[in-house]
Structure 1
Amino acid sequence: MDFAFLFKKLLTLAALVDPFLAVPMFLAATSKMSVAERIRFARQLGLTVGVGLLGGGVIGMHVLSIMGVSLAAMQFAGGTIAMLVALAMVMAKEETVKMSAGEKTSAETAASIVPLGIPLLVGPAALSYVMATSHFSQAWDLVHIVLPPVLVGILTWVVFEVAGKSQKLFSSNALSVLERVAGFLLAAIAVEMMATGLKGMFPLLSN
């Protein structure tokens, strides 16, 4: 087994996911949650990242090929979803629907998947990387296919759990400002994703 390749893949994948960059968005999304809810939310994000990367590495390219979906189309769609959420964050839209405890838990789970988990953390760059480096020819290859996504998922969980526990140090006004800044940052990331997707679908735009 090539330990140098395994270490390189782990570091590259961690850099592409970069949970530290998404901490402001995590704090903004969980500003009205209790500490226990934020910890659960962090765990859901870690699970989403780990499973998303693992799924992308194992079956991602095959599914896209069967469905006739290009990676560029995924980039544009992911950017569009991220932009819609970013606009809501910048305009600080309040929750207008009362939810039961069960509905709230379900909503938190969905929110951890879109857009924080996918496509912000598990974005086209991370997915394309695991797809391109997840070749299976012998039993040892399972280690570099499975281990990096799992470890990056755990890293994501730890980063957001620590951030969630320290959120009480911020005032409501600071969190409100943070939400708008995070929304602006997410909008910029969304524009980059959409632009990359458009260039992939229409190569003439790159000229």
Structure 2
Amino acid sequence: MGLIKPGLSFSLIHQLKSDLEDLSHRIDRLMHAIDNPNSSLLNEFEEIHHLFHDIQVSTASHYLNSYLAPFTNQFGVLSKAIQHLSDRNHGALIVIQRNDTLDSYIHSGVPVNADLSFPLLESIFYTGSPLHDGAVLVCGSTIVSAANVLPVSKQMVVEKKLGTRHRAALGLSELTDALILVVSEETGRATFAFAGELYPIRTNGAN
């Protein structure tokens, strides 16, 4: 499948270079500290880990917007819904259709055919809602259906370390160019699946 290759904005490139230089300096200091028997490296490792994660999340969030922009003008609505769901540890699975037709890959759930809004998404994924366990299908600015069943990834490594929502998101992304947003019910962390990979995205909560 053909993937969009969006460029990075000048401001993001500048920030990314600055962050990577900081990361490089920290790794360099760590390399020198290894030879000092009195050095404690654990804190430095932890700081490097957090810095690298922050860089990855910021960059992934930029690409998420770029991947979605040609297919929906509701990125703000989706972001707000993911933020609220993440804050409340409400698990969610949202499929945004792009170029590929998804009919042969999704087992249809309950038709919704309503304008995309974050209150509606929140109500669908509210714990205890009859529709909260399946995936919502979004096309353009419309919630087409809810409680959809997605194909699960067959990757053995994936099956062992990820939950059902993440495996389903990966499974559909391996077969189509759809982009799938996931919120973990256990941790509240938000990710998106695209082209068979998972990427963390920024919220003010768990990420």
TM-score of the superposition, structure 1-length normalised?
0.28
**Bigger radius of gyration, 1 or 2?**
2
Q: Which has the higher strand share?
A: 2
Q: Which has the higher helix share?
A: 1
